[in-house]
Structure 1
Amino acid sequence: MNYRHSFHAGNFADLVKHALLLWLLAQRQATGPVTVLDTHAGAGLYDLAGDAVRSREAEAGIDRLMASDDRPPLIEALAQAVAETNPGGGVRYYPGSPLLVACRLRSGDRYVGFELNPPVLALLGEVLEPFAAAAARGGDGYDQVLAEAVANPGSFVLIDPPFEQPDDYHRAADTAAAILRGDPTATVAVWTPLKDMETFDGFLRRLAGGGAGRVLVAEARLRPLTNPMTMNGCALVVLNPSEGAEAAATEVCGWVTARLGQAGARAEVWISG
């Protein structure tokens, strides 16, 4: 499955990921300065009049969210962040994880985003240039993030690959588990598409086999998982989640599936370990 950030920017999966990202970041910041590490940062900001026009997924995602009048607090926080990115009104631009985090860095906080694709890395650098505590680095985030996490105890790590490579599920699970083994105080959030339960269950088993410890699984299923060639939903899997994460995930996934899902849509949220 190919999941290019620019093509899918602002879709339902971004809403789940970014609403929970903002909440998780705030929880980590409440305990002191935090380093945020992003293994697959992307461009950081997306013009919804660009690649996203072809997919039209933003129309069924962020456009509907911004038009809604029943946004719960965590969805409202994302809506406010998107509004800040579009000071002239409307929803022309959608902020990716790098920009969402960079805009919320406080004294002592840092953001490091890794990006393998040189043209995308250049765009990321431009987006982060105004933020002194945010940096874009070239290279394979899987390979580089572990050393960075060990050097910065208590990091908040986002693993959000495009799933272009057949080993992305394995590398994502192995990297997440390795970070927690190296630093049990870190928090790691892994985003994955939901195509079929066999693939996702295999990912969770690999995490458990790597000694992932306490894990929050937050699924937003927009349609039954019957067609493995389609992204039927998404999940954010959080290792070492903050207190209150289950309720936060239930709020976000519940709203997204109820408002944006098809018949049979539902949220599944639980903690293991």
Structure 2
Amino acid sequence: MNYRHAFHAGNFADLVKHAALLWLLKQMQAPGDALRVIDTHGGSGLYDLRGPEAGRSGEAQAGILRLMAQDDPAPLMKPLIAAVRAANKHGETVLYPGSPWLIARALRPGDTYGVFEMQPDEHRRLGRLLAGRAGVETWCADGFAGAAAVLAPGARHLVLVDPPFERADDYVRAADLAGTVLARDGGACVLIWLPLKDLHTLDVFVRDLEDACDGAPVLIAEARMRPLDDPMKMNGCALALVNGPAGQVQALEEICQAVTAPSPAGKAQVWMAG
């Protein structure tokens, strides 16, 4: 696969995913309980918005750069804004932190984080970024194949599944992994990010996920930037949250509405599957 997240860093989909991730981390860090986070597709973890990839796509302009310029952002977007400011020590927003940077920064003593990245050059950069962080381990391997094997007995689990969706079977593998994780830890929380192109693909994925999760509650949060009438384009993005904590509907509604609001055809909707 030749996917590079640097082309898309800081776009609208990252805002949805990372604002939701930060909210979820906070909810799951209950006093006295160790949290173990597993990330199936980590990327390099920190992206230069001045680089040729980000410059070629221009997606950050309508994403994180627009958010950083807002005078009154939605409350649940503020933790992401604070994290981006922390990654940019000199004021100007030139770096965008990916999920590995955000998760590693949020860990408490006793929490652990395991992250997979199967592209060797991306994994090398990721390893350098996270070097010396307590409780953090990286693997240059397929996260779909390895994530369930690194769950820790007795820990609370949050599994982030964020593949590039360049392969048609990424949807099936994401649903299957959620089922495998729950078979080993029925209380695990699984957050899956996916692109929104057309309703048929989303409907098939949700049915597969429900079957794989065997009765566990599944929430779907959609951030539509334009109508879903061209399956060749990413018309929005969605999150599938399995075993989400209390307040999940309201939180994801706020996040999706905040991200879609600038788009004239934008639409946010959050619903429980089943």
Shorter-chain TM-score range: over 0.9
Corresponding letter in the other structure for 1:33? A
Aligned equivalent of 1:148:
150
Q: Given the alignment, which residue of 121, 135, 149 partners 2:137?
A: 135
Are residues 57 and 109 of structure 1, via their aligned partners in 2, closer, same or farther at CA, if it must alter by over 3 Å?
A: same
Distance across 2 between alignment mates of 1:188 and 1:113: 14
Which 5+ residue runs of structure 2 have no aligned equivalent?
A: none
Task: Write out aligned runs for 1:20-31 (5 A).
Answer: 20-31=20-31
Kindly indicate whether residue 121 of structure 2 is the aligned counterpart of residue 119 of structure 1: yes
* Number of the residue aligned with 1:12: 12
Aligned mate of 1:251, from 251, 254, 258: 254
Cα distance in structure 2, aligned partners of 1:99 and 1:150? 21
Please give the alpha-carbon distance, in whole angstroms, between the structure 1 residues aligned to 2:154 and 2:141: 19
Aligned residues: 271
Report the Cα distance in structure 1 between the residues aligned to 2:143 and 2:60, rounded to whole angstroms.
Answer: 27
Match of 1:185 in 2: 187
Measure how far apart 1:130 and its partner are: 3.5
Distance (whole Å) between structure 2 residues aligned to residue 3 and residue 67 of structure 1 = 29
1:85 aligns with 2:87: yes
Moved more, 132-141 or 147-156: 147-156
Q: 1:170 aligns with which of 169, 172, 177?
A: 172
Matched, 1:270 2:271: yes
CA distance in 2, matches of 1:28, 1:247: 16
SS at match of 1:218: strand
| Long gaps (5+) in structure 1 | none
SS at match of 1:231: coil
Aligned to 1:97: 99
Query: CA distance change for structure 1 residues 212 and 237 in 2, over 3 Å: closer, same or farther?
Result: farther
Match of 1:45 in 2: 46
Give the match for residue 234 of structure 1.
237
Would you say the 8 A contact 1:153–1:186 is kept in 2? no
Q: What is the CA deviation profile of residues 208-250 of structure 1, one whole-angstrom value per residue up to 9, with x for unaligned ones? A: 1112510111110010001111110001110000000111001
Name which of 224, 235, 252 aligns with 1:221: 224
8 Å Cα contact 1:150-1:183 kept in structure 2: no
Map Cα deviations across residues 14-55 of structure 1 (whole Å, 9 max, x no partner): 000000000001111125220100000100000111211110
User: What does the per-residue CA deviation read over 1:58-108, in whole Å, with 9 as the maximum and x for residues that have no partner?
Assistant: 001000000011212110110000000001011100000000010111011
**TM-score normalised by the chain length of structure 2:** 0.95
Letter in 2 for 1:40: H
CA–CA separation in structure 1 for the residues paired with 2:183 and 2:24 = 20
User: Percent of counterpart pairs with the same letter?
Assistant: 51
Q: Deviations over 1:180-234 (max 9, x none)?
A: 1221111000000000010111100101111251011111001000111111000
Alpha carbons of 1:126 and 1:107: their partners in 2 closer, same or farther (altered >3 Å)? same
Q: TM-score, normalised by structure 1?
A: 0.96
Query: Segments of 4+ in structure 1 off by > 2 A?
Result: 1-4, 149-154
Look up the match of 1:68.
Answer: 70
